[in-house]
Amino acid sequence: MEAYRAVVDKRDQRVYLSKPIPADALRRILQAARMTGSSKNREPNRLVVVSERAGVRALGALSPWGKWLADAAAVIVIAQVEAHEFDAGRCAQSMMVAAWADGIGSCPAHLPEADVARLLGIPDGVHVNRVIGFGYVDPARAAPPKSVARKRSPLEELVHRERW
């Protein structure tokens, strides 16, 4: 898949097939995270990969907005040894775009940080940022819900040229 298409066509997918992600595809996703730049190259991100069913389901039970995570093939938690929102976001998008280029859908979610830390044994002082569910997408249910059907504001509204 062309890089531009992988970026522009990626949409967040919350319905997954019960098909595991092969180890090499998962490794490519993690490599995409690893190679993403970070502020001063401090590499604050740590990744907790959860793919055993009990763990995935337990994560899905932590928030009403993350129930769909229960059916993900894998959930990756971005946890940071130094809190840095921009670096977490870059890492998240790298993983999601790399996954999409391999035909794997994904969606980020915000779960209660303390509950995630308790469940996964993430130590004090390590900041839980966001989690991302990954999985192959059911083609019959791939279309976005009409309510959010890839609405984006027009460029004219988002972009200021030369000055605000």
67 in contact with ligand FMN (CB under 6 A)? no
Binds ligand FMN (CB under 6 A): choice among 60, 105, 108, 135 = 108
Interacting span for ligand FMN (CB under 6 A) from 9-17, 23-31, 41-49, 112-120: 9-17
- Contact between 158 and ligand FMN per CB under 6 A: no
- In the DSSP assignment, the letter for residue 131 is E
> What's CA 115's distance to the chain center, in Å?
18
Judged on CB neighbours under 10 Å (0-12, 13-18, 19+), 73 is buried
**Which of 9, 31, 39, 65 forms a contact with ligand FMN (CB under 6 A)?**
65
Task: For ligand FMN, give the closer residue by CB, 150 or 160.
Answer: 150
Among residues 44, 60, 66, 105, the one that binds ligand FMN under rule CB under 6 A: 66
Q: In what order do the strands lie in the sheet with 127-136?
A: 45-50, 74-80, 127-136, 104-109
Rounded CA-CA distance 33/106 in Å is 14
Exposure class string for 122-143: b at 16+ Cβ within 10 A, else e: beeebbbbbbbbbbbbeeeeee
Beta carbon of residue 68, minimum distance to ligand FMN (angstroms, whole number): 6
84 near ligand FMN, rule: CB under 6 A: no
- Shortest distance (Å) from residue 16 CB to ligand FMN: 13
Binding of residue 130 to ligand FMN (CB under 6 A):
yes
Q: Based on the shown chain and the rule CB under 6 A, indicate whether residue 148 belongs to the binding site for ligand FMN.
A: yes
Count CA within 13 A, CB hemisphere, residue 140: 1
Residue 12 as a binder of ligand FMN (CB under 6 A): the answer is yes
